[in-house]
Amino acid sequence: MYFCQMFLRVMKKGILVLGLLMLTVSCSEYQQLLKSKDTAPKYSAAEELYNEGKEEESNKKLKKALRLLEQIEPEFRGKPQGERLVFLLADTYYQLGDYYNSPFQFERFLQLYPNSQKAEEASYKSAASYYYRSPRYDLDQTDTNKGVEELQKYLNKYPEGEFTEAANEKATELRIKLEKKAYEIAKQYHHTEFYKAAIASFNNFISDYPGSPFREAAYYYRFDSAYQLAINSFQFLMEERLEEAREFYKAYKKYYPEGEYTSQIEDSLLDIDKRLQNF
């Protein structure tokens, strides 16, 4: 039993040493490859590392592939392998999650090879890069707007394309993010009692985003902003503002007769009617 355990320990150490030795040799070979001026083995190694890295989701292998691709891509411009290399370079950035370099590289690929079989994939991944760059809704939405624009370009060009479903899902998600930002800005005006600004913002929101999931809430808070503005107004302004709030009540009830905010809005209407009797 003791000798068996000793044998197993020796075997494990041997395997570990062998693994480390192979890794050292592999790293050494890679470093030599980087220094070499022979582009053919670099091309083969870059493609192999790219394929393995993509399949295994190994950033280490993808980064190694990227270094080789960056070295040799200029050497193959205008040659038959150039198209493949430019796409691999762009897609390696994409696979690594470098969504600031990937759209630029995909756009360059499309400019150089607009009729490539990889043109559709490049168009989609270029647009998707902006989707992944899109920040939280409360931050600057430049990349979100760009993502919607680019995804829509892809959908217009490839309405039945391989990535149509994914592009639609991403575009919808980005649009909802933009809607949420606009809605939250208007709602913030309401909560901070800037009721005139809130009413104007909700009017714009309702006009700009007719199919938004925040539409009902926008109708309600527009009404409530008008109601709060009216009851906190000087007497000579109150009647007109109460009537405006009543109109917003009608608009809410037209679209949401049994809506989520029915109880609150009905209570406010009773108060409006009572106050209007004084005029």
**Domain locations in the chain?**
193-279
Mean pLDDT along residues 56-76: 93
Among the residue ranges 18-32, 61-75, 177-191, 216-230, the one predicted with the least confidence is: 18-32
Residue 24 has pLDDT above 70, yes or no: no
Answer whether 104's CB lies under 8 Å from 112's CB: no
pLDDT of residue 182: 97
What's the mean pLDDT in 193-210? 97
pLDDT at 167: 98
pLDDT at 152 over 60: yes
Do residues 138 and 181 make contact, with C-beta atoms less than 8 angstroms apart?
yes
Instruction: Tell me the mean pLDDT in the region 118-138.
Output: 97
Q: What is the model's pLDDT at position 228?
A: 97
**Cβ of 42: how many Cβ atoms within 10 Å?**
19
Mean pLDDT over 90-96 rounds to: 98
**111, 87 in Cβ contact below 8 A?**
no
Instruction: Work out the average pLDDT over 244-268.
Output: 97
Going by C-beta distance under 8 Å and a sequence separation of 6 or more, which residues neighbour residue 163?
120, 121, 124, 154
Across the chain, what does the average pLDDT equal? 91
Say what the pTM is.
Answer: 0.83
Residue 212's alpha-carbon distances to 20, 155, 176, 208, 223, in angstroms, are 57, 21, 7, 9, 18
Tally Cβ neighbours within 10 Å of residue 96: 16
Cα 71 to Cα 43: distance, rounded to the nearest angstrom? 10
Residues 6+ apart with CB under 8 A from 126: 102, 103, 106, 107, 110, 150
Q: How confident is the model at residue 17 (pLDDT cuts 50, 70, 90)?
A: very low
| Percent of the chain scoring above 70 in pLDDT | 90
226, 241 Cβ separation under 8 angstroms: yes
Bigger pLDDT: 46 vs 21: 46
Confidence of residue 1 (pLDDT cuts 50, 70, 90): low
Structure confidence by residue, pLDDT tens digits, 104-119: 999 999 999 999 999 9
Q: Which distant-in-sequence residues (6+ apart) come within 8 Å of 136 by Cβ? A: none
- pLDDT for residue 13 is more than 60: no
